[in-house]
């Protein structure tokens, strides 16, 4: 990995982190605004509206135009199909770890301030955990590259 690649990756990671930290994504209509060029429309189950209701924000990348991440638990999913139900997929892949799913039906309107603050603290912890996991994986990948170079020197 070149220095330019590393700098680009760090910049991309900072931009992504800033987007995730944005509390406005707690509001469904703001999550919906992220679904630009989403590949599925009615009558599909997997519409932008259904995705936003299920807590997802659109996170397209070079390799995946249908990437989505839960604003709360940071679970990333791609490879969506028209008949996928965003709620069912979210429940299935988060394996009970997404507290947003526990409050989703009333999250925006009926939640007490204390509970909201507790959830926001957990959301921020989820973001930090996700970013640390990415850094750890990046370090492991770089360590493997260095090991290969060293093996070739011997």
Could you tell me the residue ranges of all domains in the chain? 3-153
Can you tell me which residue has the tokens 């640390």?
Answer: 132
- Per-residue pLDDT tens digits for 93-144: 987 788 888 776 544 555 567 777 787 788 788 888 888 888 899 899 999 9
pLDDT of residue 106: 47
**Where is 70: in which H helix or E strand?**
strand 68-70
- Per-residue pLDDT tens digits for 45-62: 999 999 999 999 999 988
- 46 to each of 17, 18, 76, how far by Cα in Å? 26, 27, 15
Q: What average pLDDT does the segment 24-34 reach? A: 88
- Higher pLDDT pick, 105 / 35: 35
pTM over 0.75: no
Class of domain 3-153: mainly alpha
CA distance 109 to 81: 30
Return the structure tokens found at 123: 């959301």
Helix, strand, or coil (residue 22)? coil
């Amino acid at each position: 990995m070149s220095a330019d690649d590393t700098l680009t990756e760090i910049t991309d990671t900072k931009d992504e982190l800033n987007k995730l930290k944005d509390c406005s994504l707690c509001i469904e209509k703001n999550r919906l605004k992220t679904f630009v060029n989403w590949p599925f429309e009615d009558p599909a189950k997997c519409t932008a509206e259904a995705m936003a209701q299920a807590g997802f924000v659109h996170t397209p990348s070079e390799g995946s135009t249908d990437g989505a991440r839960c604003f709360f638990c940071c679970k990333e999913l791609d490879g969506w199909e028209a008949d996928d139900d965003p709620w069912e997929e979210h429940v299935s892949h988060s394996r009970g770890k997404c507290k947003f799913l526990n409050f989703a039906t009333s999250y925006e309107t009926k939640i007490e301030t204390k509970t909201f603050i507790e959830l926001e603290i957990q959301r921020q912890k989820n973001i930090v955990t996700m970013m640390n996991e990415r850094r750890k994986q990046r370090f492991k990948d770089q360590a493997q590259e260095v090991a290969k170079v060293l093996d070739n020197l011997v």
